[in-house]
Amino acid sequence: MAKKVIVFAPHPDDAEFYAGGTLAKMIAEGFKVVIVVATDSSKGSFEHAGDALAALRRSEALQAAKVLGAEPPIMLGYRDFELDKLPAGQLREQFIHHIRQQQLDVIFAEDAFANGEVHPDHRAVAWAASDAINYATLPLLHPEHLTQGLDPHFVVEKYFFSDDLGDANKVVDISETFERKIAALTEHKSQIKFLVEGISNEAKLAGVNLTGLLGAAASNHLKAFTWAMQTQAAGVGQKAGFTYGEAFRYVRFHPFVENILTTQS
């Protein structure tokens, strides 16, 4: 049977942004990948608003998953920037439910222990995912799951992503899947425009001449975004000898068990 992979993502584009190349590589190797998106991303735009934006982001997420080769995404539908208003433990329970239901082999999630994360939704998903991953094995935690036929489960492979690569211990070679990552990401058209406009506005305030840096690409959202992603992936990959790479804090077992495995190898 195909190995099962899940991504716990705050917003529709986060899985592809941080791990699209690695996910595409796993899919090519026969892994089944499902992306769980926590929010409707209804506030991340300078031109669209509310429910219309949420519907647009949902449509883009469906198409992006199709391009990537993943299963249709599971949209939890919580309002953007409002995960901190949820009852304590609600998001954690949903993540535990997915872990037990899918009996997962691999999880990708925001790193709760990374420094500098400014977005409250990212922080909320990171901590809920961390707790779910570490304690989905406890039968007395949400025992109602047992009555639903969901057994406690330990996920062996964990890939934690963030903008802070200080604790990254694994770089995945995505040289052959980088184009697929970009193809999937560019389906998130509204988000790409929003991100590039935000950076451009800050660059103007800082007196940075993006046209001088990027040339004609500076006025094209897609080209500017692709250039930024290429630069980022090349910088990560170069340190490991790859053309393009994605970096993660990769965890399998408790450090005690890992030490035993290391001494036996």
Domain total for the chain? 1
CATH of the domain at 149: 3.40.50.10320
pLDDT at 158: 98
Rounded to 5 degrees, φ, ψ at 78 are -70, 150
* β-pairing verdict for 157-161 and 170-173: unpaired
* β-pairing verdict for 106-110 and 74-78: unpaired
- What span, in angstroms and rounded, lies between the C-alpha atoms of 112 and 257? 22
Residue 48 has pLDDT above 90, yes or no: no
Q: Which of 47-61, 143-157, 201-215, 229-243 has the lowest mean pLDDT?
A: 201-215
pLDDT at 169: 96
Other Cβ atoms closer than 10 A to 67: 18
Q: Give me the domain span that covers residue 165.
A: 4-264
Residue 142 has pLDDT above 90, yes or no: yes
Other Cβ atoms closer than 10 A to 39: 26
Residue 201 has pLDDT above 90, yes or no: no
3-class SS shares of the chain: helix, strand, coil, % to 5: 50, 15, 35
